C-alpha cells in the first residue's frame, strides 16, 4: 500500500489585519473611565480644600 504525501495547503494563511489605533484607544479609555473619574473627583476635592484653606488664612490675615 502506497503512502500519500502530507497535505500541503494551497492557500496562504494570513494573520488577521492589525486593528486601527482609534478603536483600540477607545477600548483602552472605556476600561479606565471609572479610574479617571475617581482621580478627577479626588483632585477636585483636594483643590477645593486647598482653596478654602488659603482663603480662610487670607481672610484671617486681613482681619487681624
Confidence at residue 23, expressed as pLDDT on a 0 to 100 scale? 83
In sequence order, which residues have a C-beta less than 8 Å from that of residue 36 and are 6 or more positions away?
29
Helix ranges, the chain (H): 21-31, 33-62
41/35 Cα distance (integer angstroms): 10
Q: What is the pLDDT of residues 13-55, one digit of tens each?
A: 777 777 677 788 888 888 899 999 999 999 999 999 999 999 9
pTM, two decimal places: 0.53
More confident residue, 62 or 25: 62
Per the structure block, which three cell numbers stand in for 19? 486593528
**Residues 60, 54: Cα–Cα separation, whole Å:** 10
Please calculate the CA angle 51-52-58 and round it to the nearest 5 degrees.
Answer: 90
Amino acid at each position: 500500500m502506497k503512502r500519500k504525501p502530507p497535505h500541503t495547503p494551497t492557500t496562504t494563511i494570513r494573520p488577521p489585519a492589525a486593528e486601527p489605533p482609534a478603536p483600540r484607544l477607545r477600548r483602552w479609555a472605556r476600561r479606565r473611565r471609572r479610574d479617571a473619574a475617581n482621580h478627577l473627583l479626588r483632585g477636585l476635592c483636594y483643590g477645593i480644600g486647598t482653596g478654602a484653606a488659603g482663603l480662610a488664612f487670607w481672610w484671617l490675615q486681613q482681619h487681624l
